[in-house]
Amino acid sequence: MLTLASKLKRDDGVRGPRASNPASDSTRRVSVRDKLLVKEVAELEANLPCTCKVNFPDPNKLHYFQLTVIPDEGYYQGGKFQFEIEVPDAYNMVPPKVKCLTRIWHPNITETGEICLRYQQHSV
C-alpha cells in the first residue's frame, strides 16, 4: 500500500549520504509533507476503526484520499458518509482540506459539503 514509503527509501539509497550533483538532488527531494504522511498513513491504517474505510485512488499520492464512515450507533447509525481529504504542501502548518461528498444535515457541514471546524468563542 505505501508505495511512496518504498519510493522514499529507494531514493535515499540511490542518493547516498551526499549527492555529487546538486541539480539532481533537488529534483529527488521529498517534501516534509510526504515524509510525515508516510508515517501518519501507516498509523492511520493500523488504528482505523472497523466503521471507517480509507481509499487512496493513487497510492503514490498519499496527500489525497477518501474516507468512508458507516456509523454503527447514534443518530447517524446505518448511514454511509464519504469524505474527500487533501493535505496541502504546507502541512503541518496548514490543516488538511476535508469535504463531505454525502449530502447531510450537520451544523459544521455546509450544503456544498464544506466543513468548518473553527472554534467560535462566545462572549458572556
Annotated active-site residue 100? The verdict is: no
Contacts of 101 (CB under 8 A, 6+ apart): 66, 82, 83, 84, 113
Q: Which of 50, 52, 100, 116 is catalytic?
A: 116
Would you give the distance in Å from CA 28 to the centre of its chain? Answer: 22
Place of cell 492511520: 44
Catalytic residues: 116
